[in-house]
Structure formats: C-alpha cells, structure tokens
Amino acid sequence: METEYSKIFITAWNTVIESFSYRHILSADVCPVKEYTDGNRCIHAIISIIGDINGQISMSMNAETGKALASEMLGGMEITEVNEMVTSAVGELCNMIMGNACSTISSTKANVDISPPTVVADEILPLLTIKPIYSITFVIEDLDAIDFIVAV
C-alpha cells in the first residue's frame, strides 16, 4: 500500500488540533481504505488538491465529534445540534489541515493548492472522483474516531 504524504497529513492534524484544542491525538493508523462506510459518521468534508499533484481528501466523523470540535474552535460555545455552525467549523478544520499539509508539500516536493471544502451533514458520503489509496483513522482524546481518506 502506497502511503505517500501520510506523515505530512498526520503532522498537519497534530499542528491544527493543538492550535485550538486541549485534546491530543492518541493514534493515527494508516490502513487500506475500508470497503464499507461507518453509518455512525454523519458529517463529511471533501477537499481537492490541485497543481503538480491532483487528488482528493475526505474527512468523516460522527455528530458528537463534530459538535465537540466545533465548540472548541468557537471558543467553548455550547452546540447542541449539527447545524450550519458545525458544518462551517468542520469545513474550516479540513481547510486548516489541508492548508498546513499543502504548505509542507509545496516547500519540499511540488506546487499544490486546495479547493474550498464541500461539507455535508446527515447525507451519504459523496463519492470521491479519484480512487482512494489509503485512509488514516485518527483517534482524538475523548472523541470518536475520524476517518481521513486519501486519494492522490
């Protein structure tokens, strides 16, 4: 299994999570893409990588994880439901992670940029237009796992 850029993505996750959260990433497991989707994941963000490298990234999490991360990103604001604030925060989280990762990739290998993220909640995960190569499952302290699917 080709896992190019996985260390860059994991480092980007750590950097971004540490910038707004007291939580720590407990594990980041790189593995083949699952043939199934976890029905528990109801918030999905997709972002494209464009330039010398083209690809897509998909990030999926459950409602409680999305609400908790959105609350922390918004300074502790109480969030009781998955709404536009949550999807906006998840989109911004994806944007921050990928911006960080692409800056690293651009400084060492290739010129790349990202598209604005597309975020959906309570819908089926939109299909990636590029075949996924691997996924990284992030386990963050006191939260459910987040799936990060890489297609580059």
Give the DSSP per-residue string, the chain: ---TTHHHHHHHHHHHHHHH-S--EEEEEEEPPPSS--TT--EEEEEEEEESS-EEEEEEE-HHHHHHHHHHHTTS----S--HHHHHHHHHHHHHHHHHHHHHHHHHT--EEEPPPEEEESSPPPPPSS---EEEEEEETTS--EEEEEE-
Q: How confident is the model over 87-134, as pLDDT tens digits?
A: 999 999 999 999 999 999 999 878 999 999 999 998 776 667 788 889
Go through the domains of the chain in sequence order and give each one's CATH number.
6-151 (3.40.1550.10)
pTM for the structure as a whole? 0.91
